[in-house]
């Protein structure tokens, strides 16, 4: 079963969700803004995404610019920031088995479904 880390207020996230529905893919929705992801969950996602933690950050968010942009942060610190501030997590993310992909553009998810 696929998992979509979803923000219903995000257009790209809604578009990705629609792709999954249109392809009749069974999936579970995790609204990560309602239920913060733990540091361990984020670490596992980052491994599945095969990216550096900084690449999961929405760097244009004002929260990032105001509080973190100019700091020299370790990967662990970035993951902690994402866990504490889920608004900063790039979205949507679709997870399938041992892989995950960021749905930007939404069509990216076709690679793992």
Residue 56: its H or E element: none
> Whole-model pTM?
0.93
Contacts of residue 7, Cβ cutoff 8 Å, sequence gap at least 6: 13, 31, 32, 33, 91, 92
Topology at the third CATH level for domain 2-111: Glutaredoxin (3.40.30)
Residue 62 C-beta-side C-alpha neighbours within 13 Å: 0
List, for residues 35-69, the tens digit of each pLDDT value: 999 999 999 999 999 999 999 999 999 999 999 99
Mean model confidence pLDDT for the chain: 96
Known catalytic residues are 10
Rounded to an integer, what distance in angstroms lies between the CA atom of residue 29 and that of residue 50? 21
> E strands, 8-104, where?
27-30, 93-96, 99-102
Does residue 26 register a pLDDT over 90? yes
């Amino acid at each position: 079963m696929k998992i979509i880390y979803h923000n219903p207020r995000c257009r790209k996230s809604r578009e990705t969700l629609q792709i999954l529905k249109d392809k009749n893919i069974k999936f579970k929705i995790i609204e990560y803004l309602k239920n913060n992801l733990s540091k361990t969950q984020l670490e596992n996602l980052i491994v599945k995404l095969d990216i550096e933690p900084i690449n999961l950050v929405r760097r244009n968010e004002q929260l990032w610019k105001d509080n973190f942009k100019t700091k020299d942060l370790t990967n662990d610190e970035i993951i902690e920031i994402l866990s504490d501030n889920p608004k900063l997590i790039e979205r949507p993310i679709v997870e399938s088995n041992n892989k995950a992909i960021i749905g930007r553009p939404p069509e990216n998810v076709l690679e793992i479904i």
